[in-house]
Amino acid sequence: MSSTSPSSTSSTSTISTSSLAVASLGTPRIGPRRELKFALESFWSGATDERALIETGAGLRAANWARQKKLGVSVIPSNDFSFYDQMLDTSVMVGAVPEIYRWNGGPVPLATYFAMARGAQGKTQEASCGHINHGRDAAQGMPALEMTKWFDTNYHYMVPELARDQKFTLASRKPIEEYEEAKALGYQTRPVLVGPVTFLKLAKSKDAGFNPLSLLDRLLPVYIDVLRELACRGAEWVQIDEPCLVLDLDIVGQQALHYAYTEIASAVPQLKIMLATYFGGLGGNRDTALALPVAGLHLDLVRAPEQIDGLADFSDDRVLSLGIIDGRNIWRADLSRILHRLEPVIAKLGKDRVQIAPSCSLLHVPIDLALETGLDSEIKSWLAFSVQKLEELSTLGTALAGGRGAAEASLRTSDEAAAARKASPRIHDAKVAARIAGIDDAMRRRANAFAERAGVQHERFNLPAFPTTTIGSFPQTAEVRKARAAHASGALTDEVYKIYLQDQTARAVQWQETIGLDVLVHGEFERNDMVQYFGEQLAGFAFTTHGWVQSYGSRYVRPPVLFGDVSRPKPMTVEWWQYAQSLTKKPMKAMLTGPVTILNWSFVRDDIARSEACRQIALAIRDEVADLEAAGAGMIQIDEAALREGLPLRQSEWKAYLDWTVDAFRLCSSGVRDETQIHTHMCYSEFNDIIDAIGAMDADVISIETSRSKMELLDAFRNYRYPNEIGPGVYDIHSPRVPEIEEMTALLKLARMRLTDTQIWINPDCGLKTRKWEEVRPALVNMVAAARELRASA
Ligand code: GLN
Ligand code: ZN
């Protein structure tokens, strides 16, 4: 898989006259056909050996370099590849391997690396809450490092774990090896490193109160070693990513940056640093960033286009990398519009001082649109994946260097696509526009306040104190997934598949009744995914076949593409609810995914505001809620698992986000009568900072994740005097361990110290789809027993 036409090893700063420099900050590592996933999983299962995995990695890197070269990229990255995650690579590079992994110095073995990633003793990790991963099984053996979201993306990184007395040492030479590997294939690359300040800012320590940033002094020598060696071996530029520059940094953070880059500049003066920022604007860190002694600065001009205005201040000989193609979304760019913005800037700064680039690494978009042979051709003509985005940059580079005439044909195609998309009737639905225009305040408000509704609801349902329920899904067993795959491939007819799903549902309902749960669910067996299931039934969404994006490790997702106005052609869940309710006299809770979660887990159209797209989804869900109510559903749960994760990176933008997300929730949930109980579910363990918004959502019942936080997060609800009902999770569904009755009664005792008894529901932390029936059965039996004990003693 090596390059067919190796380039000369000319320096990356040599700008050819026919094009402006086109830089790539990083490319997807998973392979066009998910080669990396299959190689990893085969290695983990023991089917293939380490050598096979290493070879696959090398093949993917060679293919990535060749592809970028062929697409006209002049600044090609190395060390953007990873077997698992670039933050984990960085931990390993600097020897930050926590003691439990029993590393004894020397190069870090692959087994240790994967133990940090996934835990050891064959325990595999799983996404437990839709797309989010909240924690991994580590009942025995070594637990994995903690994992969390990389800024506001759906990529998850392994959180570095540093001790107060942490020592750093160069323990992996990956950046150097990959630089050499590329060079041997004929590519002069710009190696990429996660910057030392971002690394420490994202790290955590077991020592409460210890700030990992204070380790900067000890960390820098390792970075300097790496940089020196890269320089020695011929690297002229190194890209160092410091996305922490788009966060609200305090003076300590700003000073840390200043210190780090001053040290680096004086230790390795011969090396040029391209300091990359992305996912937002520099904001209050602008002066800090501009004062750093680095040779180049990359700015995200997609998220923060206004940054282009201040660029004239950048009046010395430093190189500017302009992130102008969206690295976070999949829309084809309007190239003429970009040219219009860039031409004056280039004229001012001069061609040799500017590079153009995607806004961030292309890790966050799928690889190649050409593979989407099944996609509607009109929609396809509006999209660009990583390959297409690099082509766009190459066109822009040519036009900026040689004038628009030099790229005439490509620009014309781009213009045509932009015009066609704008005018397409597929995107604009007058009926949706009319409904949006018709929204009034009454639609955002329940007819009566909670206190009044609660009375009516209690009368209607007549539930015992501390009612028990679950969050919605029951185990998605291998058998269920197999049946779904067989149905998708045509091997199972609609009819047979439906009977199978009904049978699964009936068993689940019957079992819930047998063990004595008070409010039942149908189990969600018919759903492939809590967002995709709805997206597939809503107008305005499209789906890809190969549009995989890394979520973490070997787990990839294919986000739905929200391309047009959203509406609901027909009921989506009513039949399944009706079927499930027909099997029992107990209340059957209907189950929907909320508008914010659908939005946050999709690639969203960029021609209208996200808030606007969200409002459209809210109206579609509102229709479903109305139909469920009309069919007799007395309880309707609207999950907003992703509301919190959509919070903007900067605190100053939170209020606006929470305003429109709460508005969307109210819009979808407020059309019902008093006696209809609206539930919502959120799987977070942090509510303090968004409690006002939670209150404003005004769901009759909210179920939340609390078991691992020992109910402490209920303090937020208590302090707020949250009046509505709450189901604090008493069973940690992220672990295969079956909780004892006493553990749950102990948790409930803690809950009762913070809430009034009439507020409390009893439920697990989240849905049970990732668990096994053998785990779920005893756990829920115990949960019901805990509720009974509580009732007896209360
Ligand atoms: N109803 C969903 C389930 O139980 C909720 C999942 C989630 O919150 N992520 O699976
Ligand atoms: Zn959940």
734-762: per-residue pLDDT in tens? 888 999 999 999 999 999 999 999 999 99
pLDDT at 687 over 50: yes
**Residue with CA nearest ligand 1 atom 4:** 767
The three-class DSSP label of residue 20 is coil
For residue 331, the 8-state DSSP code is B
Q: Which ligand is nearest to the CA of 534?
A: 1
Q: Is residue 451 part of a domain?
A: no
Q: How far away, in angstroms, is 472 Cα from ligand 2 center?
A: 9
The DSSP-derived string for 591-654 is EEE-HHHHHHTSEEPSSS-HHHHHHHHHHHHHHHHHHHHHHT-SEEEEE-TTTGGG--SSGGGH
Q: Is residue 336 part of a domain?
A: no
Determine whether the shortest distance from the Cβ of 129 to ligand 1 is under 6 A. Answer: yes
pLDDT at 352 over 70: yes
Active site residues: 734
Q: How far away, in angstroms, is 781 Cα from ligand 1 center?
A: 20
pLDDT at 12 over 50: no
**Residue with CA nearest ligand 1 atom 7:** 129
Q: Which ligand is nearest to the CA of 528?
A: 1
**Residue with CA nearest ligand 1 atom 10:** 767
pLDDT at res. 625 = 99
Q: Which residue has the tokens 């009454």?
A: 442
**Which CATH number is 779's domain given?**
3.20.20.210
pLDDT at 18 over 80: no
d(CA 458, CA 575): 26
Structure tokens at 671: 């059309």
pLDDT at 124 over 80: no
d(CA 676, CA 634): 5
611-650: per-residue pLDDT in tens? 999 999 999 999 999 999 999 999 999 999 999 999 999 9
**Residue with CA nearest ligand 1 atom 1:** 472
d(CA 59, CA 653): 43
**Residue with CA nearest ligand 1 atom 3:** 767
pLDDT at res. 723 = 97
Question: Which among 522, 524, 640, 682 is the best mutation to test ligand 1's pocket, defined by most ligand atoms within 8 Å of the CB?
Answer: 524
Host H or E run for residue 566:
strand 561-567
Q: Which residues surround ligand 2, an ion (CB under 5 A)?
A: 129, 683, 766
Q: How far away, in angstroms, is 593 Cα from ligand 2 center?
A: 11
d(CA 641, CA 661): 12
To the question of whether residue 298 is assigned a binding role by annotation, the answer is no
Determine whether the shortest distance from the Cβ of 643 to ligand 1 is under 6 A. Answer: no
Q: Which residue has the tokens 């100053």?
A: 652
523: region left, alpha or beta (phi > 0 left; psi from -120 to 50 alpha): left
Determine whether the shortest distance from the Cβ of 641 to ligand 1 is under 6 A. Answer: yes
Residue 782: how many CA atoms within 13 Å on its side-chain side?
19
264-316: per-residue pLDDT in tens? 999 999 999 999 999 999 999 999 999 999 999 999 999 999 998 877 666 67
d(CA 534, CA 537): 5
Q: How far away, in angstroms, is 658 Cα from ligand 1 center?
A: 21
Name the E strands within 30-146.
76-78
Burial of 303 (0-12, 13-18, 19+ CB in 10 A): buried
Question: Which among 639, 640, 679, 705 is the best mutation to test ligand 1's pocket, defined by most ligand atoms within 8 Å of the CB?
Answer: 639
Q: Which ligand is nearest to the CA of 530?
A: 1
CB-based contact 633:680 (threshold 8 Å): no
Determine whether the shortest distance from the Cβ of 683 to ligand 1 is under 6 A. Answer: yes
Give the β-pairing of 76-78 and 147-149: unpaired
Give the β-pairing of 635-639 and 701-704: unpaired
d(CA 586, CA 594): 24
Q: How far away, in angstroms, is 727 Cα from ligand 1 center?
A: 14
Give the pLDDT band (50/70/90) at residue 17: low
Q: What is the mean pLDDT of residues 166-190?
A: 98
d(CA 361, CA 26): 4
Determine whether the shortest distance from the Cβ of 571 to ligand 1 is under 6 A. Answer: no
d(CA 73, CA 355): 11
Q: Is residue 290 part of a domain?
A: no
Determine whether the shortest distance from the Cβ of 786 to ligand 1 is under 6 A. Answer: no
Q: What is the mean pLDDT of residues 584-589?
A: 98
d(CA 128, CA 136): 9
Q: What are phi and psi of 353, to 5 degrees?
A: -100, 5
pLDDT at res. 5 = 40
pLDDT at 506 over 50: yes
Question: Which among 681, 733, 763 is the best mutation to test ligand 1's pocket, defined by most ligand atoms within 8 Å of the CB?
Answer: 681
Which is more confident, 6 or 473? Answer: 473
Host H or E run for residue 238:
strand 237-241
The three-class DSSP label of residue 538 is coil
**Mean pLDDT score of the chain, rounded to an integer?**
94
pLDDT at res. 143 = 87
pLDDT at res. 605 = 98
Identify the bridge partners of residue 296 per DSSP, sorted by sequence position. 274, 319
CB-based contact 295:318 (threshold 8 Å): yes
Give the β-pairing of 589-593 and 635-639: parallel
To the question of whether residue 36 is assigned a binding role by annotation, the answer is yes
Determine whether the shortest distance from the Cβ of 767 to ligand 1 is under 6 A. Answer: yes
d(CA 605, CA 594): 18
Using alpha carbons, list the distances in angstroms from residue 772 to 12, 52, 74, 497, 517.
Answer: 53, 32, 50, 21, 19
pLDDT at res. 10 = 41
Structure tokens at 131: 């797309």
Q: Which amino acid is at 569?
A: P
pLDDT at res. 407 = 96
Determine whether the shortest distance from the Cβ of 260 to ligand 1 is under 6 A. Answer: no
Q: What is the mean pLDDT of residues 717-740?
A: 95
Question: Which among 126, 128, 129, 519 is the best mutation to test ligand 1's pocket, defined by most ligand atoms within 8 Å of the CB?
Answer: 129
d(CA 663, CA 657): 10
Determine whether the shortest distance from the Cβ of 682 to ligand 1 is under 6 A. Answer: no
Q: Is residue 510 part of a domain?
A: yes
H helix intervals, 632-756: 654-669, 691-697, 714-720, 741-752
pLDDT at res. 732 = 93
Q: Is residue 173 part of a domain?
A: no
Nearest to 487 by CA among 478, 496, 479: 496
d(CA 89, CA 221): 17
Q: How far away, in angstroms, is 641 Cα from ligand 1 center?
A: 7
Residues 6+ apart with CB under 8 A from 641: 129, 130, 132, 530, 593, 597, 681, 682, 683
Give the pLDDT band (50/70/90) at residue 125: very low
Determine whether the shortest distance from the Cβ of 769 to ligand 1 is under 6 A. Answer: yes
pLDDT at 550 over 90: yes
Burial of 695 (0-12, 13-18, 19+ CB in 10 A): middle
Atom index in ligand 1 nearest the CA of residue 530 equals 2
Atom index in ligand 1 nearest the CA of residue 471 equals 4
d(CA 764, CA 762): 7
Identify the bridge partners of residue 23 per DSSP, sorted by sequence position. 75
To the question of whether residue 624 is assigned a binding role by annotation, the answer is no
pLDDT at 15 over 50: no
Give the pLDDT band (50/70/90) at residue 135: very low
Residues 6+ apart with CB under 8 A from 582: none
55-107: per-residue pLDDT in tens? 999 999 999 999 999 999 999 999 999 999 999 999 999 999 999 999 999 99
The total of structural domains in the chain comes to 1
For residue 527, what are the domain limits? 460-793
Q: What is the mean pLDDT of residues 567-573?
A: 98
Atom index in ligand 1 nearest the CA of residue 130 equals 9
Q: Is residue 210 part of a domain?
A: no
pLDDT at res. 239 = 99
Using alpha carbons, list the distances in angstroms from residue 536 to 11, 321, 541.
Answer: 48, 39, 7
**How many CB atoms are closer than 10 A to CB 75?**
24
Q: What is the mean pLDDT of residues 114-139?
A: 57
Atom index in ligand 1 nearest the CA of residue 473 equals 4
Determine whether the shortest distance from the Cβ of 162 to ligand 1 is under 6 A. Answer: no
Determine whether the shortest distance from the Cβ of 591 to ligand 1 is under 6 A. Answer: yes
**Residue with CA nearest ligand 1 atom 8:** 641
Q: Is residue 221 part of a domain?
A: no
d(CA 676, CA 457): 7
Q: Is residue 244 part of a domain?
A: no
Q: How far away, in angstroms, is 57 Cα from ligand 1 center?
A: 35
Q: How far away, in angstroms, is 577 Cα from ligand 1 center?
A: 16
The three-class DSSP label of residue 224 is helix
To the question of whether residue 507 is assigned a binding role by annotation, the answer is no
Q: How far away, in angstroms, is 494 Cα from ligand 2 center?
A: 30
